[in-house]
A = this chain, B = another copy of it.
């Protein structure tokens, strides 16, 4: 008798454990943001999406107006110790040096070739403009696409020694997927070069070229040796940063987003424009405060400086995300 009661207890215990495991598994399955720790940041995203997709609710937004915009550098992938596109430009200078022997004695190329980053920095904005003009213009758009694509497929992060396209933020990929599953249109709106991003965003983020907004240069259409081409000119068209972001959004999307995601003061105007429209809105700022798993920087950083956003964001109802506390993991496995 004792034996059989024991058996019954055992069966009940095993059954209870099974039921509990299944509930946990189901909860995980139903969790659209498994890489986010429970907390205000995570629930602010879910509350917003639930509100704007609940038919008949006060905050309901039709799918055609469910526009969400994401910064790229520091928001979807890393930007330290240098913007990826700047590493690309420096690599291109080295690659192109044999065809440009005069660079050995001309700044800023001389410093780039000597690996003297302080020397490069000393050439200032003019030096940077020369590097960008030499490496990003003068070819056709299709040639540049091929160059950018080949580079991104082989380049590796200097400290983490991994391809840049694997150093993307898993929690943000989950937000993108969650929004898409809820009929949002998801755009990148980045200060980075539009043509530097477009060759790989679809493969890496599932975001096609026409949903990528970025800094652009002027181009010219011409028929070269009987072949129509788009030539890349050494003249800026749109600087898609700060007040340039709402301009870029307006130009490319033609509608005010209802949700915007960024990480630096370069995203301030995008979030301001987005969250000041009528109806329910959402703004989020990723705060890089995780020196152990990624990098920690904000008010004093030259790259991805975040100062005004930290002060004004909370007052404006924006969600400030702590990478350290809100993110379970940083990168995809």
CB-defined contacts of A165 to chain B, threshold 8 Å: none
Q: A202-B64, A246-B228 are in contact. Are A251 and B221 (CB under 8 A)?
A: no
CB-defined contacts of A187 to chain B, threshold 8 Å: 210
Contact with B along A238-269 (1 / 0, CB 8 A): 00000110110011111110000000000001
Among the listed stretches A21-29, A104-112, A211-219, A317-325, which one makes contact with chain B, having 4 or more residues with CB under 8 Å of it? A211-219
Complexed CA–CA distance, A268 and B187 (Å): 31
> Is B273 within 8 A of A246, CB to CB?
no
Contact with B along A200-227 (1 / 0, CB 8 A): 0010000011111000100111110001
Asked if A198 is at the interface (CB within 8 A of a chain B CB), the reply is yes
Asked if A185 is at the interface (CB within 8 A of a chain B CB), the reply is yes
> Is B254 within 8 A of A195, CB to CB?
yes
- Which A positions have Cβ atoms within 8 angstroms of B? 64, 141-142, 185, 187, 194-195, 198, 202, 208-212, 216, 219-223, 227-228, 230, 237, 243-244, 246-247, 250-256, 269, 272-273, 276
> Is A228 within 8 A of B273, CB to CB?
yes
CB-defined contacts of A246 to chain B, threshold 8 Å: 221, 228, 230
> Is B212 within 8 A of A254, CB to CB?
yes
Q: A221-B269, A228-B276, A273-B221 are in contact. Are A141 and B211 (CB under 8 A)?
A: no
Q: A221-B246, A228-B246 are in contact. Are A252 and B210 (CB under 8 A)?
A: yes
Complexed CA–CA distance, A243 and B221 (Å): 6
> Is B210 within 8 A of A250, CB to CB?
no
Complexed CA–CA distance, A256 and B254 (Å): 22
Complexed CA–CA distance, A208 and B219 (Å): 26
Q: List 6 A-B residue pairs with CB atoms under 8 Å apart, sorted by A's residue number.
A: A194-B254, A210-B211, A210-B254, A220-B247, A221-B246, A230-B250
> Is B253 within 8 A of A209, CB to CB?
yes
Q: Closest B residue to A208 by CB, please name it.
A: B64
CB-defined contacts of A254 to chain B, threshold 8 Å: 194-195, 198, 209-210, 212
Complexed CA–CA distance, A251 and B252 (Å): 9
